[in-house]
Amino acid sequence: MTTDIKTEIDFLPETDSSAALLEVRDLHVEFRTRDGVAHAVNGARFRLQSGQTLAILGESGCGKSVTAQAIMGILDTPPGFVTKGEVLYRGVDLLKLSEDERRRVRANKIAMIFQDALSALNPVFTVGFQLGEVFRKHLGMSRADAKKRAIELLDMVRIPAAAQRVNNYPHQFSGGMRQRVMIAMALALDPEVLIADEPTTALDVTVQAQIMKLLAELQAERNMGLILITHDMGVVADVADWISVMYAGRVVEEAPVHDIYARPAHPYTKALLESIPRLDLKGQQLNVIKGLPPNLTAIPSGCAFHPRCRYARDACRVDPPPPLYETGSGTTAACHFWKEVRGGE
């Protein structure tokens, strides 16, 4: 049994511990459909270090979940194809690994949790069996030992009476508790990176806050790199260190969380911030971003945000799209007029 443990870890690719934990460079993903080629990710980039939380923000269809799927190697191919770029885990380009090597990295080093815990769990098996399976399959543990570890995991994600709840089926848990089970499953093999794709969207506000707090605590305890994918700027304010805002498959602004909230440099970021409901503005109309995100088979020329942007002018409509301008030390924004957006810097 112990041989199995060694075998799986021994076959992990050799990595460089001095390199960034995870770095995405110029990632391009397209979906080849009957209606044309949808350019879902168009040069995404970011960096994540151990112990850091990166929030990737944007509306549905801006490319954040597809970026996560490309990192994990779980894109549906066809129709989805990574056409360019690098996904470096400790200096190793995951895009160049064999499917078998990627599966090992996915099982042991980079884990992901999804929005809908109910459909991710199998309704006919107890949560204990499903958690235990991770240990039986990857570490060759006996059924009894795997169950013991499953109870420890439920305890770790603060599920009360874990020794009893381990025998329950998914439908016997509330939405928040099921999401805790999914977190436990993702952390079972002690990954270095956790990607959480809209982990709280299906939950009510109080439970959302509890799950975010749990993720933040577990991340600090384990010094993990955490990527939070969300459309909701309100959710990440207290937990993220760094924010990358995506629009039409591109990163359009990247900065530490406090800078983004205090001095957004891209009109899209600014509009997302203005659309957060605020108690002090009770009774006033909520600002929503006019229009819809673009059709990815026909992304507007120039700056893809120009049809919805209140700062847009002629220069914004012509190619090439604005580059990521330096807006501070290490911060960038893809807007020709970022100084004006910030209020005349």
Interface positions with ligand SF4 (CB under 6 A): 266-267, 303, 305-306, 309, 311-312, 316, 322, 335-337
Q: Which is nearer to ligand SF4, 48 or 335 (CB)?
A: 335
Q: In the bound complex, what is the minimum distance in angstroms from residue 343's beta carbon to ligand SF4? A: 14
Which tokens belong to 301?
């020329």
Q: In the bound complex, what is the minimum distance in angstroms from residue 337's beta carbon to ligand SF4? A: 4
Of the candidates 203, 196, 200, the one whose C-alpha atom is nearest the C-alpha of residue 229 is: 196
Q: In the bound complex, what is the minimum distance in angstroms from residue 42's beta carbon to ligand SF4? A: 15
Q: Which is nearer to ligand SF4, 194 or 303 (CB)?
A: 303
Q: Which is nearer to ligand SF4, 46 or 337 (CB)?
A: 337
Assess contact for 194 and 113: CB atoms under 8 A. Answer: yes
Cα–chain center distance at 44: 13
Q: Which is nearer to ligand SF4, 192 or 253 (CB)?
A: 253
Q: In the bound complex, what is the minimum distance in angstroms from residue 225's beta carbon to ligand SF4? A: 29
Q: In the bound complex, what is the minimum distance in angstroms from residue 322's beta carbon to ligand SF4? A: 5
- Going from the C-alpha of 184 to that of each of 54, 155, 188, 260, the distances in angstroms are 20, 9, 6, 31
Q: Angle 95-98-99 (CA atoms, 0-180°, nearest 5)? A: 95
Q: Give the sheet arrangement for strand 110-113, strand by strand.
A: 110-113, 193-197, 225-230, 53-57, 242-247, 250-256, 332-333, 325-326
Q: In the bound complex, what is the minimum distance in angstroms from residue 298's beta carbon to ligand SF4? A: 17
Q: Which is nearer to ligand SF4, 336 or 342 (CB)?
A: 336
Taking residue 34's Cβ as centre, other Cβ atoms within 10 Å add up to 5
**Residue matched to tokens 């160049």:** 96
- Going from the C-alpha of 205 to that of each of 106, 202, 239, 287, 312, the distances in angstroms are 31, 10, 15, 20, 35
Q: In the bound complex, what is the minimum distance in angstroms from residue 339's beta carbon to ligand SF4? A: 11
Q: Which is nearer to ligand SF4, 147 or 306 (CB)?
A: 306
Q: Give the sheet arrangement for strand 92-93, strand by strand.
A: 36-48, 22-33, 80-89, 92-93
The length of the chain in residues reads 345
Q: Which is nearer to ligand SF4, 169 or 311 (CB)?
A: 311
The SS3 call for residue 214 is: helix
Q: In the bound complex, what is the minimum distance in angstroms from residue 302's beta carbon to ligand SF4? A: 7
Q: Which is nearer to ligand SF4, 200 or 332 (CB)?
A: 332
Q: Which is nearer to ligand SF4, 59 or 145 (CB)?
A: 59
Of the candidates 322, 321, 342, 324, the one whose C-alpha atom is nearest the C-alpha of residue 333 is: 324
Assess contact for 15 and 50: CB atoms under 8 A. Answer: no
- Going from the C-alpha of 24 to that of each of 32, 112, 125, 278, the distances in angstroms are 22, 16, 37, 34
